[in-house]
Structure 1
Amino acid sequence: MIDKHSPLPLYFQLEEQIKKTIESKELVPGDALPSERELSENYQISRMTVRQAITNLVNKGYLFREKGKGTFVSSQKFEQSLQGLTSFTEDMLARNLKPGSKLLHFEIYPADEDIKESLNLQDDELIYKIKRLRLANEEPIAIETSYLPVKLVPGVTPDILEKSLYKYIENNLHLSIGHATQTVEAAIVNEEDSKHLKVNKGVPILLIQRETYLENGTPLEIVKSSYRADRYKFKIGIERK
């Protein structure tokens, strides 16, 4: 209940009450939250206080609003650590989720200057351009565009791309993947990607670029991914030096 004599703000106390009902699964994803009027009457607090608590929970991803319909419980975000190098397939399996891929584009062509320089290729060397929609339990999570040297990773086919590309590289080609550098920034989804990700045009996404290397330092791939910001978050541990 709300303690009006507590030093904690009333809106924060209501936030915690609502979060408890979500975390205890009294309310599950898709459930409607009681109206502002109902919450105001139930907790004997102002509607302005209720509105502030709900807005904070919307901003934190616990709730989402639908115009003219109300406020609902969000599906919880998938969390990925930035401290280990895993494939999307490995990441989903570790969460007991069913990974999936839909191939959107597959092409072999000579690398342009930027890609050629990043992958340390000679003139006219060929690369794969692979664009896939990545799924978790059949829900679209990300769009991933990969660039790999054909000479280094021969034999890639659309059938292989329906599964784990990393597994093919390590188990079939016997290459050892070593490390990667990765950047994450905020962006706005474009119209084409919004259709594949099943989000509204112009909503925020997480734009991630990764450059992956073999254990011997040879550049393996460049990956540019657009992740749904409402379904994915990244975590990193930081130590004080």
Structure 2
Amino acid sequence: MSEPLRIRKPDRRRPEPLWHQAEQALRALITEGEWQDGDQLPNETRLTEMLEVSRITVRHALRRLEEAGLLRREHGRGTFVRRSTIVAGIRGLTSFTDEMTNLGEVIGTRATEGSEVPADEEVAEALQLAIGDPVVRLRRLRLGNGNPIGVQTAYLPVDRVPGFLPLQGELASLYNTLRDRYGIVPTEADELYRVGAVEAGDAGLLEVGAGTAAFIVRRTTFDASGPFEYVQSTMRADRYEIRSKLFY
């Protein structure tokens, strides 16, 4: 990787801490495309020369960018750009669209299916329905900065969303549509993550091979009237992470 022609060196006259300015300078090289996904960064010695700051300042900036999911450090090899990885931390009850927007991602959604189907045992139990009750099945490919992140299949009780099908236009945010059209506002959700593998039916959409490691997510969302949504998601493990901060 060639070194950048222009880098925004920290200015000691500014009130922001030097590590923050260094972080922003390196972040700009990634977000503006000077450093591409997979590129290796110069070593710490060279970064201190480029930024004209101390090694401690550089390390602080690099750690912040790693925590934000923009860099990965490989022991014995160096530090690499990974701008396509989404790192979700502690968050409230939000839609995928809002969550990714808050992380600075350009969100894309491609609806692959919208149909009415009978609820199977798993869906019926989650939505407190009888097996065979009609539900809307909405299957969508979720994108971040144009890259496939996950495939999500949402189930909604038909009696809660009359007239939902056929879909009209692109459905950017399901939660916004439910709020605006049906007055459904989520209040809480149960969410379970486990490690699994991409199934053959999802592999082409996610642009990976069948059997590739993935996060398998199950989420039931409630409003004041009870469960209104059950979502089955397969998220690419190389582009989506969960990071938690623990306190003693």
**TM-score, structure 2 as length reference:** 0.66
For residues 99 and 175 of structure 2, the distance between their equivalents in structure 1, rounded to whole angstroms, comes to 12
1:10-69 CA-partner distances (Å, limit 9, x unpaired): xxxxxxxxxx9x7684882345549xxxxxxxxxxxxxxxxxxxxxx9xxx7279xxxxx
Aligned pair count reads: 190
2:82 match: 74
1:108-141 CA-partner distances (Å, limit 9, x unpaired): 0221233222211246431011111011222111
- Quick check: 1:62–1:76 contact (8 Å CA) kept in 2? no
2:124 match: 116
Deviation at 1:226, TM superposition (A): 0.8
Equivalent of residue 72 in structure 2, options 62, 70, 80: 62
More moved, 139-148 vs 113-122: 113-122
- Helix, strand or coil for the counterpart of 2:168? helix
For residues 110 and 30 of structure 1, the distance between their equivalents in structure 2, rounded to whole angstroms, comes to 43
- Quick check: 2:84–2:145 contact (8 Å CA) kept in 1? no
Equivalent of residue 215 in structure 1, options 224, 239, 245: 224
Q: Does 1:132 find its partner at 2:131?
A: no
For residues 235 and 87 of structure 2, the distance between their equivalents in structure 1, rounded to whole angstroms, comes to 12
2:35 match: 28
**Change in 2 beyond 3 A, CA 1:147/1:77:** same
- Helix, strand or coil for the counterpart of 2:105? coil
For residues 153 and 105 of structure 2, the distance between their equivalents in structure 1, rounded to whole angstroms, comes to 22
- Quick check: 2:89–2:244 contact (8 Å CA) kept in 1? yes
* Structure 2 alignment gaps of length 5 or more: 1-22, 42-65
2:57 match: none
**TM-score, structure 1 as length reference:** 0.67
* Structure 1 alignment gaps of length 5 or more: 1-19, 35-56, 65-70
1:1-241 map, 5 Å: 25=29, 28-30=35-37, 32-33=39-40, 62=72, 73-122=81-130, 124-156=132-164, 157-159=166-168, 162-216=171-225, 218-240=226-248
Task: Supply the AA of the counterpart residue of 1:224.
Answer: Q
1:52-100 CA-partner distances (Å, limit 9, x unpaired): xxxxx9xxx7279xxxxxx974335212134411111111222332222
